[in-house]
Amino acid sequence: MLPNTNAGHFRGLHSEYHVAIYERHQPEKTILYQTVARAWPKISLEYAVEGETIPRHVEAEFDRYQRCGILDYGFVRLYCKACDAERLVGFSCKGRSFCPSCGARRRDQTAERLVGDVWPVANARQWVLSFPHQVRYWLSRDTALFTDVMSAVTGVIANFYENYTLSCEERAKVYAPSAGAVSFVQLFGSSLVLNPHLHMIFLDGVYGRGSDGLRFYPHPSFTTEGMFDVLYAIHDRLSAVFRRRGYVRDDGEAGEPEHTEDISMPFRPRAPKAYRRKGRLLDHPNYQHSDPDQMSMEGWCNIRYKWLSLHAGVAMLAAA
């Protein structure tokens, strides 16, 4: 509750600080909800007529979203005995895909938890790794594979910080330098096309215990060239993961594991528009880069190799 120690200050508080008053979420009035409600039944019917099946989790996500916040599907009535005010709050879908309300709430709660209870006062850097289109297809249907991929990628970046943050003199005095990270999986790109990729927030340095106790050692100088070995190592580690799980044969060609499951369009990853428009996909299978065997710099801390894209250009300094 707001403090009431100063009546004059309290009366001016609403206009000065813009105290928010709760208003019921009304998704049925948004363009997104109206579009889904109008188009989704037609899409489902078209798939049924063509004999195609939509993955069950996709159907469930759309069905839950169309009930999110709608009072017809249940609500909680809140009543204040002091002022007789009451509010109706509809049940939420708690979806993890495209529901703006539930996504924003989960985002805010996660950020508050990380900032308040998890993340230390230390420099941070965001690493983003995107995969080739064929790999996106594998990751979208095999969660165990995605877990192995995430473990391999975060392990490589952690090794980079632990091996190259401290100088030779500091390494002799600091015990067990350790990196730290929080990883997030994003399944779609800005155009809502299936694009599983990783967002990883790493400590931009390491924690280690020296003569002055446990403290943070920031990375001395981050450069684009310094990322080359990281992406080389990520490629090698992921190649080993794909071979072990049967997605890539020993000769380097893509295999087809026995537990494959067909994914209907439009849920499959697609080639870039330029190649679809020009009809060049079949003539140019390495469409994602003209020379995939060469490491290329696409911008500041943004590199590509073997159809993998790694970006680490966003850094955050710790608050003083």
pLDDT surpassing 70 at residue 41: yes
The confidence score (pLDDT) of residue 289 equals: 46
Whether the Cβ atoms of residue 195 and residue 210 lie closer than 8 Å to each other: no
pLDDT surpassing 50 at residue 152: yes
- H/E stretch holding 274 reads helix 273-278
The confidence score (pLDDT) of residue 5 equals: 37
Where does the pLDDT of residue 20 fall: very low under 50, low under 70, confident under 90, or very high at 90 and above? low
For residue 254, the 8-state DSSP code is: B
For residue 79, the 8-state DSSP code is: E
CB burial readout 70-92, b (16+ within 10 A) else e: beeeeeeeeeeeeeeeeeeebeb
Query: Pick from 110, 86, 102: which is nearest to 22 by CA?
Result: 86
- H/E stretch holding 183 reads strand 181-188
**Out of 56-60, 249-253, 266-270, least confident range:** 266-270
The sheet carrying 205-210 orders its strands as 175-178, 205-210, 213-218
